[in-house]
Amino acid sequence: MLTATELTSEAKLALARLFSEKQGKEIRAEVGAGRYEIDEVVRVKATLKVGEDYEQEIPLKARPFLLASIFAGKVNEDTLKAVMADYRKALADALEAGDFAALDAKEDEVKPRVERAMDGLKAKTRTLCNGKVSCEVEILEGLDGMAD
């Protein structure tokens, strides 16, 4: 019997594609806490396609907390306290009313200006990306010899 370390990389990749991330989360929700000994015999058939690696220009994300720190350092203490008080009050009022439309409208009003400013902060870098992987994989038979 093969161990996981004896499987080819291609076989491991195909097995990894057997379940989507969403399916994995759903399956995990079905399994309670505990230690499980699993001894299954499963026959799997797969067609694996791996694309060529390629270069892509990827934007580096801005660091919003660094930006906020620098911004806070540019205003006096009273202004900073007033801004934070307004922020807390706006959130508290929206929570109490159960209506965030006013906050959304305020964000929408200034969002274009902020986005333009942020675009100037985002650098771009050429990065080597792995080729895309597609895989058709199916379980042919389980322990009882029946197709799943």
Give the chain's mean pLDDT.
83
Q: Which residues contact 56 (CB under 8 A, 6 or more apart)?
A: 126, 127, 129
Note the pLDDT tens digit of each residue in 21-43.
888 888 888 988 888 888 877 88
pLDDT band at 148 (very low <50, low <70, confident <90, very high): very low
144: helix, strand or coil: coil
What per-residue confidence (pLDDT) applies to 1?
65
What per-residue confidence (pLDDT) applies to 62?
67
